[in-house]
Structure 1
Amino acid sequence: MRRFVMSDSHGGYEAIVQCLKRSGFDNEKDKLFFLGDVVDGWSETMESIDLLLSIKNLVYILGNHDQWALDYYSGKMKQDEETLNLWLLQGGSATVKSYGAGKPMPKEHLDLLRQAKLYHVTEDNILLVHAGFDTGTPLEKSTSHTLIWSRSFVNRCYSSYTEDQPVTIAQYREVYIGHTPTMALDPAQTTPLQLGNVTITDTGAAFRGRLSIMDMDSKEVWQSDKVMCLYPYQEGRNAISWNQMSQKG
């Protein structure tokens, strides 16, 4: 069984398909650790979740956008207009459109989000989490905000990396993180970023980057095309489409 990690596809079904095909992923034999945020941004959240549900050995880690979508479709967001508007602006409107305005999310899709883990530690002591964690707090006592929202861990690791200080998280053999696009740290970093024994897997699929999939053991990486090129007439979370950019160019 090969082990792969992927994160933050944000409604980009076509990008997931490309990554799985290019990596030779076997839906029946291989394992996929998906580090959250399959929803919000591009138009195919429903298709994306259907595809993930077809993978026999899937470990799904909850992302902050997943939590937003879960709150919306479970009715928890009805009384919080400010959060609702923020979610819709940050890609939630595409998720609503994917399922159909006013229509529910299918139970099996809701169940994927409801049953998603806040973190996962493998048998060989590899930690997988969406946003990060507090190295001074036991994982089981960590808040969901820290695990699915906070960028403090990544920012500290990246700061050490840029100052040529070693980045080693002693508690774990390796750590895999999504949430923070590599290009937000360094515009030239278009592939997963390894900071010592920490790997950041979000390569900007929600915006102007590509979706990446990594073999956790060989470290080989495969990528989709630029996701905005796969949806050339959609703005996604960019406020401009690929087609509009090309016309301006």
Structure 2
Amino acid sequence: MKRFVISDSHGGYKALVQCLERCGFDKGKDQLIFLGDVVDGWSETKESIDLLLKLKHLVYLLGNHDQWALKYYTGQLTQEAELKSWLRQGGAATVASYGESKSMPPEHLELLQQAKLYLVTDDNLLFVHAGFDTSKPLTETDVFTLIWSRDFIENHYRSYQKGKPFHINGYKEVYIGHTPTILLDKKQTTPLRMDNLILLDTGAGYTGRLSIMDIDSQQVWQSDPVMTLYPQEEGRSGLSWNDRRALGLVYI
């Protein structure tokens, strides 16, 4: 069984399909560790989760957008300001994917409700959506830090920029999504390794590509730029591919 890791597809079903096809993923034999945020952004959240549910050895971790969507579809996203924030940051596309005023299918809800907050493998690899608190045991790290906070990544990236990436003790490798590499450096279009920390989110929800990595060989495959797969949609970047072309802003 091969092991793959992917993160933050944000409704980009077509990109997800490309990644699985390009890496030769076997849906019945191989394992996919998904670091969260399959929802919110592009128009095919429903199709994306339908696909994930067909993978025999899927391990799904909770992302911050997954938590938002869960709150919405279980009637807990009741504060108007938070609801507007979620809709503006990709939630509207998720609602449209399932249909206005329609519920999320029970099996889709179950996937998100049963999502893990983190995973530590038998060979001591840590997988988590956003980060963790290195000053305390992983089991004592709060949910906000695990799926929302960027403090962990920002601290490591500052050291990396100074040419002094530091080793994360206690784990062979740490795999994280959440913070797009292209927002740290627009030229960083592939997963970023900082010593034994690897960032997997390469901006699929914005102007980047979706990336999938073979955990054991470290080989990476990528989708086309996701905005080109949904040329009439804004995703989470504010302008569609077609609009960018019309304005002469095409760059990849």
Bin the TM-score by the shorter chain. Answer: over 0.9
2:54 is matched with: 54
- The Cα shift of 1:239 comes to 1.3
Amino acid across the alignment from 1:90: Q
- The Cα shift of 1:156 comes to 1.0
Distance 1:130 1:61 in 2: 7
Cα deviation code 1:69-122 (max 9, x no counterpart): 000000001x31111000000000000000000000000000000000000000
1:234 is matched with: 233
Cα deviation code 1:43-67 (max 9, x no counterpart): 0000000000100000000000000
Distance 1:104 1:166 in 2: 45
The 8 Å contact of residues 214 and 222 in structure 1, kept in 2 or not, is answered as yes
Note the residue ranges of structure 2 that are not aligned, 5 or more in a row.
none
Cα deviation code 1:17-64 (max 9, x no counterpart): 000000000001100000000000000000000000100000000000
TM-score (norm 2): 0.98
1:176 is matched with: 175
Compare 152-161 and 9-18 and name the one that shifted more: 152-161
1:70 is matched with: 70
The 8 Å contact of residues 167 and 198 in structure 1, kept in 2 or not, is answered as no
1:206 is matched with: 205
1:86-165 maps to which residues of 2 (within 5 A)?
86-165=85-164
Amino acid across the alignment from 2:99: G
Give SS of 1:4's match: strand
Give SS of 1:225's match: coil
Distance 2:91 2:126 in 1: 28
Please tell me the root mean square deviation across aligned C-alpha atoms, in Å: 0.6
Note the residue ranges of structure 1 that are not aligned, 5 or more in a row.
none
Distance 2:52 2:175 in 1: 19
- The Cα shift of 1:166 comes to 3.5
Distance 1:94 1:15 in 2: 16
Identical residues among aligned pairs (%): 64
Compare 135-144 and 206-215 and name the one that shifted more: 135-144
Aligned length: 248
